[in-house]
Amino acid sequence: MLHEHSLLVDGGKTVAIIADSDLPVDAPVCRLDGGIISPGFIETQANGGGGYLVNAHCDAEGLAHILAAHRTYGTVAMLPTFICDTQDNYLRGIASIAEASRHVHGILGGHFEGPFIHPEKHGTHDPLLIRAPDDKDFACYEKHAADLQHSIISLAPERVPAGTVRSIRELGIRVNAAHTMATKADMQRAFAEGLGGVTHLYNAMPPLVGREPSVIGSAAELRLYCGIIADGVHVDPFSLAAACKLIGKDRLILVTDSMHTIGTDIREFTLAGRGARLRRKRPSGQRTRLACRRARHPAAMRAKRHPLHAPRGGRRARHGYHQPRALP
């Protein structure tokens, strides 16, 4: 992080970053009074925004609306996240997001979280929609592969046939482990086929223990990129600090996993057939598991910095700089 520097803007475009001492004497100055300028955020896991859920509004107009709601908080590009659904809806979702990536600036592709996940770790996903991939899925991936080159498919490595990860990677689509009971051996097999990351580290996966590193320990040893929800709810601040040390700050990616409530006054909603309401910006409801919250990236940035006792320049803007490296 640079201190006592200014961003020089001419005609609406950034032309230089210069020391304050080198500012032209006649240049109009906008002071931030301690604020921070950082690159725009790239969101790789968001379920909706502006009152729209991705699964229900995954056409170009709907995704543009969702991105606009996130842009208020500094997000300039995203992978809208499509969660477990019927196969017909899933295939339509892939096609719609692929098309939107061609026409909506800032929609880079999609994040398809499920339905190839472990029933014991379904979280807020409807367990009745969990299944194995089949030929229809791969035909759809192949048909739209050219528009899915920055996309992610999150799956449970132990729940898909051998060769599945390799087949998806050969199409240029990234594969993450998520909602999984994978062992070290499962993770190693998937890594050999091209597994590149882990979705929402700690959540919906086994804990790290001495005799079985499972997903978390394997992610560290295999140097995988790991998304993490740094909201202080999904992940305790001490666990966040441990992840920074274990995974490495350059491979840890802040995500919000946010809901359609972003940018709205919505307080109650239904998710996977369960009623939920927002309390202090976190969803809670009848028999719900921990749901995607109403998180925002600036808040996640603060959560990542302050509980870790990090200096102001130590861990700032990791989201904006390192997110693109995690995409194909």
Active-site hit among 85, 137, 231, 257 = 257
Q: 3: pLDDT confidence band, cut at 50, 70 and 90?
A: confident
- Model confidence, pTM: 0.85
Q: How far apart are CA 258 and CA 201, in angstroms?
A: 15
pLDDT of residue 206: 97
Residues 6+ apart with CB under 8 A from 309: none
Mean pLDDT calculated for residue range 243-261: 93
In this structure, is the dihedral angle defined by the CA atoms of residues 297, 110, 294 and 73, taken in order, positive or negative? positive
Q: How far apart are CA 18 and CA 88, in angstroms?
A: 53
Please compute, for residue 226, the number of CA atoms within 13 A of its CA located in the half-sphere on the CB side.
27
Q: 288: pLDDT confidence band, cut at 50, 70 and 90?
A: very low
Per-residue pLDDT for 178 more than 80? yes
3-state secondary structure of 133: coil
Which CATH superfamily does the domain covering 41-277 fall into? Metal-dependent hydrolases (3.20.20.140)
**Closest by CA position to 177, among listed 191, 198, 201, 192:** 198
33 is catalytic: no
pLDDT of residue 268: 77
For residue 78, the tally of other CB atoms under 10 A from its CB is 27
The encoded tokens of residue 198 equal 């882990």
Least confident of 28-37, 41-50, 131-140, 170-179: 28-37
**Closest by CA position to 158, among listed 195, 128, 112, 110:** 195
Q: How far apart are CA 262 and CA 50, in angstroms?
A: 6
Q: 274: pLDDT confidence band, cut at 50, 70 and 90?
A: low
What does the DSSP assignment read for 49-96?
ETTEETTT--SHHHHHHHHHHHHTTTEEEEEEEE-S--HHHHHHHHHH
| Lookup result for tokens 């910095």 | 305
User: Would you say how long the chain is, in residues?
Assistant: 328
- Whether the Cβ atoms of residue 159 and residue 121 lie closer than 8 Å to each other: no
**Closest by CA position to 300, among listed 249, 241, 231:** 231
**Closest by CA position to 45, among listed 85, 78, 90, 71:** 78
| CA Rg value for the chain | 20
Domain map (residue ranges) of the chain: 1-37, 41-277
